[in-house]
Amino acid sequence: MKSHITLVSTLALSVALALPALAADQDRGNGNGNGRGQGARAERVQDGPGNGNRGNPGRGNDNARKDDRGPPAARGNGNGPVPPQVQPRPRDRGNGADVRDADRRADARARVTVPVGRDDRPEPVVTLFRDGRVERRALIDGCPPGLAKKNNGCLPPGQARQMRREALGRYDGYWLRGDEGYRYRYDDGYMYRYDRNGGLTGWLPALGGALGLGNVWPQQYSYQPAPQYYSQYYGLNDRYSYRYADGVLYGVDPQTQAIQSVAALLTGQPWTVGQAMPQGYDVYNVPYQYRGQYADSPQSWYRYSDGYVYQVDPTTRLVQAVIQLLV
Amino acid sequence: MRNRLHTLMLSAGVLAVAGLSLAACDPAPEAESPGAEVASTRSDATLTAALGDQSEAAGFRDVLDNSGLATALEGVGPYTVFAPTDAALGTDADGLRDEAMSAEAAALVRAHIVPGSLGRADINAAIDASGNDQAQMRTMGDDMLTFTRDGETIVVTASDGASARLSGTEVQARNGVIQPIDAVLVKTEAAE
């Protein structure tokens, strides 16, 4: 197994540019989604790295309508957007990806990609983040359409009192994620977050609900076109356009906007060279076919996340390098 | 080409696996050394297909199908799936098979998946190296799982306190790992 790996020293990395981050923005309004007759309105920045000085941001293969991709003012990264493009595949591999490609890629060389600057910039690393601004979840903050902001969240006091009295559904705890002080409820395709007083403080179309197979993408619910690297890594075919939202890569019929597949699950965790690795990667998890190349040692740890292997300093826990698993 | 299934041998000191056996097929060890214990089977199948081969994970496989996430677990991954046994899912498996419950099914499945390939040896090594006898991994549902040990058994606990023990035999599938567990890693309200 040949490998051409450029390992970059921590010192060099300390002056390297941070990994591109996908800035996000949301606004709210009164869109009409599917299912409930009310849709999430959240315009999030679609295009990739928010670094501002490197190109090729967030190139997707999603021929998204322009009005689906967020306001232009919120989209740019300084270098101008690259039009969404379909990454041609040698053959149609059906719905999603072909894991055999991963085996083949493991035998090919892997590449360490480290942002080094404009003059010698490598292929950009694109990390898809969940929106971490709102309790770590990509909730749409605020009131759903039709419910104006009240003193107590979005609900009139009477409804809030009723909400407090109602028992939680058996499965409402499935959406609870350690953020005490909030209660979550699922209803008819959407997840809702309430505060202790029953005030509705956030909501989101749910995977398997409004974002379930066969459903039309909720109008104006924001997404990011799948970046080219993800298209390649996950072997996304050109049958669908692919959209990322809240940790999921969806395959969407470009004509009908109906969700046809869930192509991949992602963590959406931020990994940035020179910064601490995200919490929750204590266990060595490199794919088996790459373990010969990327084995933990006293000098370096390696962790897998969302199509990349990250090299980490075991002592400082700082991310040293990003390794693409594609040839 | 790899054999469809062959057995990995790990030291008995690393794993003393109790509980239900979820091996896809008879492990049919190719070689066995004295003192070694069968701890893992390997499969060329995808996670989705390998879950279908698990005789005691039929309920979770049905929930996976209903969730719409089966195609994701057929893809490149890799992922590690903590698969509750049928006994662990209990009657919830019936409810979560219902098409009207696909969102709940998807939430449950996401809460049981972490990125990458986690063998039990990897988890044990992380616990040993931690200094506080625990290791954490983030799920695809954006929750944190904490691994500890009870004797020689690995225990995994979600942020809401739901806890399970790794049971049976891990399966190294083509695109990830299946770790059978004896309980569900999300709580239902009725269980409170």
What ipTM goes with this model? Answer: 0.83
**Residues of chain B neighbouring A268 (CB-CB closer than 8 A):** 142
Residue A211: exposure state from Cβ atoms within 10 A (0-12, 13-18, ≥19): buried
Per-residue pLDDT of chain A (327 residues; tens, 9 = 90+): 333 333 333 323 322 222 233 333 333 333 333 333 333 322 222 233 333 333 333 333 443 333 232 222 222 233 332 322 222 333 333 333 444 444 444 433 344 444 333 333 333 444 444 443 333 445 566 666 556 555 556 655 565 555 555 556 777 777 766 566 777 888 888 888 777 777 777 778 899 999 999 999 987 688 889 888 899 999 998 899 999 988 999 999 999 999 999 999 999 888 899 999 999 999 999 999 999 999 999 999 999 999 999 999 999 999 999 999 875
pTM score, whole prediction: 0.70
Both tokens of residue B3? 């054999």
Nearest Cα of chain B lies from the Cα of A304 at a distance, in angstroms, of 6
Tell me how far apart the alpha carbons of residues A32 and A62 are, in angstroms, rounded to a whole number.
22
Residue B156 domain boundaries:
5-191
Tell me how far apart the alpha carbons of residues A161 and B99 are, in angstroms, rounded to a whole number.
32
DSSP labels, A245-299: ETTEEEEE-TTT-BEEEEEEE-------BTSBPPSSB-S----GGGTTTS---SS
Query: Do the chains contact at A282 and B130, CB–CB below 8 Å?
Result: yes
Count the domains in chain A.
Answer: 1
Report strand pairing: A301-305 vs A308-312.
antiparallel
Query: Do the chains contact at A177 and B142, CB–CB below 8 Å?
Result: yes
Considering only CA atoms, which of A78, A72, A73 is closest in space to residue A20? A78
Residue of B nearest to A176 (CA): B160
Displacement of CA A26 from its chain's centroid (Å): 15
Residue A193 domain boundaries:
140-205
DSSP state of B189: G
Q: Is the dihedral of CA B56, B58, B61, B67 positive or negative?
A: negative
Output the domain CATH number for residue B32: 2.30.180.10
Alpha helices in B92-153, H assignment, sequence order: 92-96, 102-110, 120-130
C-alpha distances (whole Å) from A306 to each of A147, A270, B70 are: 37, 10, 18
**Residues of chain B neighbouring A264 (CB-CB closer than 8 A):** 72, 75-77
Tell me how far apart the alpha carbons of residues B75 and A235 are, in angstroms, rounded to a whole number.
8
Count the domains in chain B.
Answer: 1
